[in-house]
């Protein structure tokens, strides 16, 4: 009974999302859900390193960008099947995460922020400089789209892409849940709460940091691969500060250290930013509004908005 109760709300939420396309036929609304699912994967995996291990990694969007360009180059330049190209984004991002994690494994505080941010800028400059491969500042366009036999994902009003994005989010969330509930996940919390205590209990702080960064990159890279295949575009904007700040807002507003908070926040903020874009005078200021909202949440509810509903939410949904 307790196990069933722990998964009641997540399963109900999944059922509702699965039926959304049956009710909502507007292609643009489905598009917003797809983008929200992609952001949810980014934010929840970022939360794996930030919220559960305490690594303030400002290079997380680099994994997304690496996955995006890997899939784009594989599908367009080398003719790899788009389904395979999406999956290639995962290991490519994991390799990038390992390269970034190696120098920051023993760093602390602001030094981690600076090095990870610099790594992201280096990746963007590499993309811009290798224009023969990446398209430079113009990016890559007309990337091959998904097909299943004779079925084209371009002609179904985004129905197929919707369910692929939702499926990736479900698999990513299950993956995160398994990591958090494992002995490895418990060691991450020990590192987050007290590195000295964790080291005294035989936990290798440096190794755990490297491993969690690599694990957090896998589905972030897959999401990046799906993003470029879905939009048929790979652009340097994926490394931009606007995308990074929005994803970070989703983590902090939803609740760092929770499992489902960043996912709920990603869906809510995606639709909120789009709604603000439609308000006259707020087209360019919408990200400022989101930033102010993040500051207010951090001030009034440091644990995230999910904390405000703790009396109504099962303990499993607010697990730290």
- Could you read off the pLDDT of 100-119 as tens digits, one per residue? 998 888 888 788 889 998 99
Q: What is the pLDDT of residues 13-25, one digit of tens each?
A: 999 999 999 999 8
Which carries the bigger pLDDT value, residue 168 or residue 277?
A: 168
pLDDT computed for residue 275 by the predictor: 81
pLDDT of residue 1: 44
With cut-offs at 50, 70 and 90, classify the pLDDT of residue 314. Answer: low
Q: What is the mean pLDDT of residues 287-307?
A: 75
Q: Is the pLDDT of residue 151 over 70?
A: yes
CA distance linking residue 237 with residue 127, whole number of Å? 11
Q: Can you point out the beta strands (E) in the chain?
A: 140-141, 147-148, 151-152, 233-234
Q: Does the structure show a pLDDT above 50 at 295? A: yes
Q: What is the pLDDT of residue 18?
A: 94
Q: Which residues contact 220 (CB under 8 A, 6 or more apart)?
A: 41, 42, 45, 46, 60, 63, 64, 67, 93
Rounded to two decimals, what is the model's pTM?
0.92
Cα–Cα distance for residue pair 65/291, rounded to 1 Å: 22
Sorted by where each starts, the structural domains of the chain and their CATH numbers stand as: 2-318 (1.10.3470)
**148 phi/psi in degrees, rounded to 5:** -125, 95
């Amino acid at each position: 009974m307790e196990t069933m109760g722990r998964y009641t709300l997540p399963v109900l939420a999944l059922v509702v999302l699965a039926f959304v396309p049956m009710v909502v036929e507007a292609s643009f609304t489905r598009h917003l859900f797809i983008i929200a699912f992609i952001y949810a994967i980014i934010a929840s995996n970022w939360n794996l390193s930030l919220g559960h291990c305490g690594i303030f990694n400002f290079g997380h969007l680099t994994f997304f960008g690496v996955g995006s360009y890997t899939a784009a180059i594989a599908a367009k330049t080398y003719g790899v099947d788009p389904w395979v190209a999406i999956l290639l984004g995962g290991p490519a991002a994991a390799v990038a995460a390992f390269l970034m994690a190696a120098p920051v494994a023993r760093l602390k505080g602001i030094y981690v922020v600076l090095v990870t941010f610099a790594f992201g800028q280096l990746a963007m400059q590499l993309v811009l400089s290798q224009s023969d491969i990446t398209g430079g500042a113009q990016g890559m366009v007309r990337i091959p789209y998904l097909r299943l036999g004779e079925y084209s994902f371009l002609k179904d009003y985004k129905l197929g892409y919707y369910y692929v994005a939702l499926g990736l989010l479900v698999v990513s969330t299950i993956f995160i849940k398994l990591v958090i509930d494992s002995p490895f996940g418990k060691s991450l919390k020990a590192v987050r709460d007290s590195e000295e205590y964790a080291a005294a209990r035989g936990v290798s702080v440096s190794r755990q940091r490297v491993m969690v960064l690599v694990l957090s990159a896998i589905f972030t890279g897959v999401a990046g691969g799906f993003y470029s295949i879905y939009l048929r575009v790979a652009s340097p904007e994926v490394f931009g500060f606007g995308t990074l700040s929005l994803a970070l807002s989703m983590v902090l507003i939803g609740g760092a250290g929770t499992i489902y908070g960043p996912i709920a926040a990603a869906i809510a903020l995606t639709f909120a930013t789009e709604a603000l874009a439609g308000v006259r005078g707020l087209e360019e200021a919408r990200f400022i509004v989101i930033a102010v909202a993040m500051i207010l949440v951090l001030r009034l509810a440091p644990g995230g908005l999910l904390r405000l509903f703790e009396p109504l939410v099962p303990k499993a949904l607010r697990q730290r």
